[in-house]
Amino acid sequence: MFDAWEIELHGHEVVYRVAGDGPPVVLVHGMLNASRHWAAVAERLAERHLVIAPDLIGHGDSATPRGDYSLGAHAAVIRDLLAALGIERATMVGHSLGGGIAMVFFWQFPERVERLALVSSGGLGDHVSPLLRSAALPGASALISLAGHPRLTDSLDRAGGALRDRGSSLGVQLQAIARALRPLGSIGAREAFVQSLRAVIDRHGQRVSATDRLYLLRDMPTLIAWGDRDRTIPVEHGRAAHRAVPGSRFVTIPGAAHFPHLERPDALAEALADFIATTEPARFDEETWQALLRGRSAARPRSAA
């Protein structure tokens, strides 16, 4: 069972789902997704692990306050949730926006991370689909409101189902679009989506990049997984990150586009389970973190102007 629970953090309701028992694994969803979308992956991992999947603030069934929707703010809420649950350290898994959050979680709280898995992750390059760039433009809120109307999402879902029955791969894409747009029917969710989107994307593409910090993953077991048909964030972002992180593991999920946890959950769960089983958990402390930073760039006197 992937049961939903709720907790109040800083005056706001945070919903999360839990399954299994064992070493903790945290699953962080992306924009327009929620914890429930991890269900098939979570149930597989729960055979050997305690799986925790939060609904990010502004997403799923969590609160949608007016406030900070930056990557760091999301990471801090996850830290506080885990602290409230008594979980000190975990393997962090993030999809899309959640990948960026998982990386920022590691930059901010390295002592809490045992492994890092990035699934079709944001923050590894500037390219992103034109649709998301357009949604970040000023004045796009009215179009976003129309996009979340139930008539449109229901029509897309029915058309996608019909195409899938005929064996067309386009049906999967249409149903994925319908699934992604449904949460936009709520005013609070629309505002949270726009704020989360504009925190990481502008008209030029992704505006937040982790590429200058990937060297910090040198001693962190890292898996990079990507759908081989992803048109939202190009798979080359994953390959480039793999080249930049010595010892990292890179896998493609055949037949999956941008949502491997929904399109090919068994394949993704297998890759995650194998990664966790065949790597030793990292242990970071202040001394380790200092050594990483000092090894990259030693302090030096600043020359006079």
Taking alpha carbons only, the member of 238, 224, 219 closest to residue 293 is 219
Query: How far apart are alpha carbons 113 and 111 in whole angstroms?
Result: 6
Give me the active site residues, please.
Answer: 96, 230, 258
Rounded (5°) CA angle 97-189-32: 35
Helices (H), 28-149: 39-45, 71-84, 97-108, 130-135, 141-147
Q: Checking DSSP bridges between strand 201-202 and strand 205-206, what pairing results, if any? A: antiparallel
Please enumerate in sequence order all residues whose Cβ is within 8 A of that of 177, keeping only pairs 6 or more positions apart, or say none.
156, 160
175 is written with which tokens?
């149903």
Instruction: Please provide the size of the chain in residues.
Output: 305
Give the single-character DSSP code of 94: E
Among candidate residues 237, 194, 209, the one with its CA nearest the CA of residue 31: 194
Q: Is 276 exposed, middle or buried (0-12, 13-18, 19+ CB in 10 A)?
A: buried
Q: What is the DSSP string of 127-196?
A: ---HHHHHHTSTTTHHHHHHHT-HHHHHHHHHHHHHHHHTT-THHHHHHHHHHHHGGGGSHHHHHHHHHH
Assigned token pair, 88? 């000190």
Q: Are strands 50-54 and 12-19 parallel, antiparallel or unpaired?
A: antiparallel
